[in-house]
Amino acid sequence: MMSEKRIYFDNNATTPVDPRVLEAMLPYFTEKFGNAASNTHIFGWDAAEAVDKAREQVASIIGAQANDIVFTSGATESDNIALKGTLEKYSDKGNHLITVKTEHKAILDSAKYLMEKGYRVTFMDVGEDGRVIPEQLEEAITPETVLISVMFANNETGVIHPIEEIGKIAAKHDIFFHCDATQAVGKVPIDVQKLGIHLLSMSGHKIYGPKGVGVLYARSRNPKVRPNPVIHGGGHEQKMRSGTLNVPGIVGIGTACEICERELPTESVMLSNLRDRLENGILERIEEAYVNGSREHRIPNTSNISFNYIEGESIMLTMKNIAVSSGSACTSASLSKSYVLDAMGCTDALAHASLRFSLGRFNTGDEVDYVIGSLVKAVKRLREMSPLYEMAQKGINLDSYKWTDPKHEH
């Protein structure tokens, strides 16, 4: 008996390692296994040379200088250094951080930690399209504001914030600007100089590189920003991130960046075509389906869609062979509604009914068509079982319907 076709549409959670990336990494596990800090022999020199090359490759994709690239264990660590390290280092300038309610948990939880330490944090609202409003952000600035942290593109909706406008606001007020660009690198062009970004976080495993390696870009001039370390030790990575360098991982993220930069023009078109094909197929064949967030300002691979009257988790369980996500992968162990959609003003019902489809380099049009067909069947079956859908079909207004509250006995 043939097994069911397995399809992966969860590339915002993680991506498979590109075979070309793996090929570049392999020698650094066995033949060229030296410690990049061992500067007295050829094994260390080989490792250091590979790290230097990767620094150039990473810097190139974001328009940075190689000496501004700090290697970390991933974007979560980079976010922690950017927020905690910058606020601590520049505490003489002030104690205020501005960020956004729809940020990744690595930012939100770091911000909450800073609040516990006595720093002030402003969490900005977003519009229904999921974007922060620059004018409102500027109004939140005080003489004590040290750092603005706004993600480039949201991991759940793919919505892109007005980054260049925020960069100009930060420059105007002489404030550092950090951008978590984990979901944007390799999907849209990024130039940290043009955009006015002083600190940027990214991760290897979102761009067909390995897990366990990331980058913090920290600008060294105009203005210079050097956050305090979160991890202390041998003073590696310009004393910002101690620890023996993960040379195979660093080679992997460097190679992944080089491939992404080279293939971005064609790949972004391919992905947006697949996404549009998926969205159009779903919206044409399934009623009461809604795309969440701006359709104009977003990365090319992501579509977040709510299917009214059914739970997103129920659809996922019905299509076990298709990998999508409900809410964000980092919080998917919890069945609570998406805080991102909640911040965008999405109703509880629609927030619980959402699925995120995130396409990748290795997906095909045939897979898109298969997913549309499977989704149509799953939604039809679940709605047939849904009393809410049946009531709506009868013309009952569920928003104004008076529900009886059954007594619960303990």
pLDDT grade for 390, boundaries at 50, 70 and 90: low
Instruction: Identify the pLDDT of residue 239.
Output: 87
Task: Select the more confidently predicted residue: 400 or 34.
Answer: 34
DSSP letters, 68-86, are GEEEES-HHHHHHIIIIIH
- Residue 344: give the domain boundaries: 7-11+264-393
Per-residue pLDDT tens for 255-295? 999 999 999 999 999 999 999 999 999 999 999 999 999 99
Tokens standing for 285?
Answer: 């064949």
* Helix, strand counts (H, E) of the chain: 14, 12
88, 228 contact by CB (below 8 A): yes
Spatial distance between the Cα atoms of 198 and 343, rounded to a whole number of angstroms: 27
Active site residue 346: no
Sheet holding 199-203, edge to edge: 69-72, 214-218, 199-203, 176-180, 145-149, 96-100, 120-124
Same domain as 175, residue 305: no
Q: Is the pLDDT of residue 401 over 70?
A: no
Which of the residues 179, 257, 260, 330 is marked catalytic? 330
Write out pLDDT tens, residues 11-22: 999 999 999 999
DSSP H/E element including 203: strand 199-203
Query: Which ranges in 66-195 belong to alpha helices (H)?
Result: 75-80, 86-89, 105-116, 134-139, 163-172, 192-195
CATH number of the CATH domain containing 39: 3.40.640.10
Q: Is the predicted pLDDT of residue 81 greater than 50, yes or no? A: yes
How many domains does the chain contain in total?
2
Phi and psi of 159, rounded to 5°? -65, 135
pLDDT at residue 316 in the model: 94
Distance CA 192, CA 219 (A): 9
- Establish if 407 belongs to a structural domain: no
58-77 average pLDDT score: 98
Clarify whether residues 187 and 268 are in a common domain.
no
Share of the chain above pLDDT 70, in %: 91
Residues 123, 214 within the same domain: yes
Q: Is 86 in the same domain as 197?
A: yes
SS percent in the chain: helix, strand, coil, step 5: 40, 15, 45
Query: Is there a domain that residue 2 lies in?
Result: no
Give the integer Cα–Cα distance in Å for 234 and 115. 29
